[in-house]
Amino acid sequence: MPADPPLPQRLLEHYNAMPRGERRLADLLLEDVRAVIDSSATALATRAGVSKATAARLFKRLGYPSFKAAQRALREQQAEPAPDRYGPTLGRLGGERPELGQHLQAEVRNLVATIEQQRSDELGQAVRLLARAQKLWVVGFGDNYSLAHFARSQLIKVRSDIRMIPLGGFSVPEEFASISESDVMLAFAIGRRTRSLRNIVASAMQAGTRLLYLTDGPALARSGEGSLTLKVRSTGTAMFDSPTAAVSLMAYLCAALGAHLGEAAVQRLRRIDAIHEDWGELAHPLEA
Amino acid sequence: MPADPPLPQRLLEHYNAMPRGERRLADLLLEDVRAVIDSSATALATRAGVSKATAARLFKRLGYPSFKAAQRALREQQAEPAPDRYGPTLGRLGGERPELGQHLQAEVRNLVATIEQQRSDELGQAVRLLARAQKLWVVGFGDNYSLAHFARSQLIKVRSDIRMIPLGGFSVPEEFASISESDVMLAFAIGRRTRSLRNIVASAMQAGTRLLYLTDGPALARSGEGSLTLKVRSTGTAMFDSPTAAVSLMAYLCAALGAHLGEAAVQRLRRIDAIHEDWGELAHPLEA
DNA sequence: TGCTAATGGATCATTTATGAAATTAAGTGT
DNA sequence: ACACTTAATTTCATAAATGATCCATTAGCA
């Protein structure tokens, strides 16, 4: 019943005050608190590249009397009712704010897992897809729309001919009709997958368009020839999933595409900046 | 012509290797690079709560021969014709894919710094703002549109009466006219801030609307009564900044709002699910 | 031009952090 | 109950980090 703060919380609270070595270990734990439960202090220290002494000190700093005590406490916490998803919200109603530390912990895990899971050659292939597409179709329905919008807003800084689906209030099939074999479709399928997505993906494959498919679910079924699935993790702590890792991966891909395109991309960026500047001036020539 | 990397890049690169004091200063600079140009080393050190010596050492670590040299270099970069954010890219052109590991590290740093920087009472206040607003105006221009869209798509799952600005092809002032004192505006100001944003924020304040302002820059100027600025870090490793941390913070806020609203939110979610299901069935009753 | 104030850079004494090794505690098997 | 093993904790010498202080240089000003 004492309900001491969970580990991620404590890590956050003391993060600033930690010296380098301890921070190294803290970073590790932020990625994976379970490690404390499973591993020994020695193993932990080794994994983080610090000495056992440092590990001991960290747990003291966090307010535990010792590593052992911390481990015990955490094991107990772990054993307690495993609240999950909507259920718990119903259960612990009444304005209980979810733990920030938990959130961070989950996000970091997602991020690390997502990024580490990527195969270098696949990323390279993805970048090439994005670069060589004649037209690029960015697809995101429902909750995926924001993600798609983000992707497009970054990609358009670096190359031209990018279409968005769905577009404004326009009917999808009409827009989609102009897709061709030399195009590429970048489709987002995080969380709830809609009918529309399945339909359009199916149509695209039928049309022979190559596909770059970002999902937190299973890979594309018949992903043959040129199509590619990138998996991301989006598990959230409370109520909703979080597209953070997807955003991050997409940000990376855009940067990578920029680097890939090289001079062309840079020039495009410059042009965009110039126009921005002009417009800024034109709109309000009075501002300081 | 050597086109040395800009300050934030360097800061991130060396961040892990920095001892506590230098890190404190680095954090300050990541929030406000301009400080180097404007302030003296002494002032900087004082602001960060470290000694001059530490400041000097930091700049040495970053690869500059001295603080002065760094300041000079940065002033030049700043003064250059176009905002040369892309300079470095030009330097290492030619399809070099940016380092995945670096990206990940930077993202995690941003995340941790962003989350850790939030004050619990402010987050609580933010949630209350979101909860009590009669109407909620979600504002995001330019690159911030995706973010705003994401925010709205999550928030709408949990409460009603959320407006989006800008909306479709509609003129902003016309929409905005109906704002009232009992409303709240959630405004995103990551990266490039547009005229429109400044205008609308100014108008909102004038109208007495409370503001929740998410930014990677300086806080809102006259943030009196009820308005609130949440700072996020968005420093990217290559070419573009990354809104990852902002997305994550927003995801948290939405979850927190859900918890805050409690039963009401859960019921709303259920209703939404039900409708989804109905529609799904109705649209394609044949699918497995 | 010469004086003053301020700023940056370097030095060094002090504090703090760190790992190797010694010590203690907790098991394990006999 | 007794070695014996293994892991945690403490100790301590060393290394690193830090800030106060001093000196040199520059900028501002009369």
Q: How far apart (Å, rounded) are the C-alpha atoms in residues A191 and A201?
A: 16
Residue B91 domain flag = yes
Same domain, B139 and B218: yes
Same domain, A58 and A195: no
What does DSSP assign to residue A98?
Answer: P
Per-residue tokens: B93: 């052109």
Residue B106 domain flag = no
Residue A59 domain flag = yes
Same domain, A254 and A147: yes
B95–A259 C-beta distance less than 8 A: yes
A194-201 own/partner pairs: CB under 8 Å, 24+ apart: A194/A141, A194/A142, A195/B280, A195/B283, A195/B284, A195/B287, A196/A141, A196/A166, A196/A172, A197/A139, A197/A141, A197/A144, A200/A139, A200/A165, A200/A172, A200/A176, A201/A139
* pTM to 2 decimal places: 0.87
Residue A60 domain flag = yes
A30–B112 C-beta distance less than 8 A: yes
Residue A283 domain flag = no
Q: What was the pLDDT predicted at A284?
A: 46
A14 CB-near residues (< 8 Å, 6+ apart): A26, A61, A62
B89–A259 C-beta distance less than 8 A: yes
Report yes or no: A224 at the B interface, CB cutoff 8 Å: no
Place of tokens 């924001």: A146
Domain with residue B222: its CATH number is: 3.40.50.10490
Residue ranges making up the domain that contains B79:
7-96
The alpha carbon of B92 is separated from its chain's Cα centroid by a whole number of angstroms, namely 27
- DSSP sequence for B45-85: HHHHT--HHHHHHHHHHTT-SSHHHHHHHHHHHHHSSS--S
> Which whole number is the average pLDDT over B4-20?
85
Place of tokens 């199916």: A202
Same domain, A199 and A60: no
Domain count, chain A: 2
For residue B252, the chain A residues in CB contact (below 8 A) are: 98, 100, 103
> What pLDDT digit, counting tens, does each position of B35-78 carry?
888 888 898 899 989 999 999 999 999 988 888 888 888 877 76
Same domain, A13 and A48: yes
Task: Please determine, for residue B283, whether its predicted confidence score (pLDDT) is greater than 70.
Answer: no
Q: How far apart (Å, rounded) are the C-alpha atoms in residues B94 and B72?
A: 29
> Which whole number is the average pLDDT over B131-146?
95
Same domain, A55 and A149: no
Q: What was the pLDDT predicted at B5?
A: 67
Q: Is the CB of A259 under 7 A from strand D?
A: no
Q: What was the pLDDT predicted at B93?
A: 45
> What pLDDT digit, counting tens, does each position of A146-197 carry?
999 999 999 999 999 999 988 887 888 888 888 888 999 999 999 888 888 9
B-facing residues of A in 60-89 (CB < 8 A) are: 86, 89
Same domain, B16 and B157: no
Residue where a domain stops, chosen among A79, A112, A145: A112
Same domain, A99 and A19: yes
Choose, out of A13, A146, A270, the residue to mutate when testing the contact with B (most B CBs < 10 Å). A146
Same domain, B247 and B150: yes
If pLDDT is split at 50, 70 and 90, which confidence band does B215 have? very high
Domain with residue A59: its CATH number is: 1.10.10.10
> What pLDDT digit, counting tens, does each position of B144-189 carry?
999 999 999 999 999 999 999 988 878 888 888 888 889 999 999 9
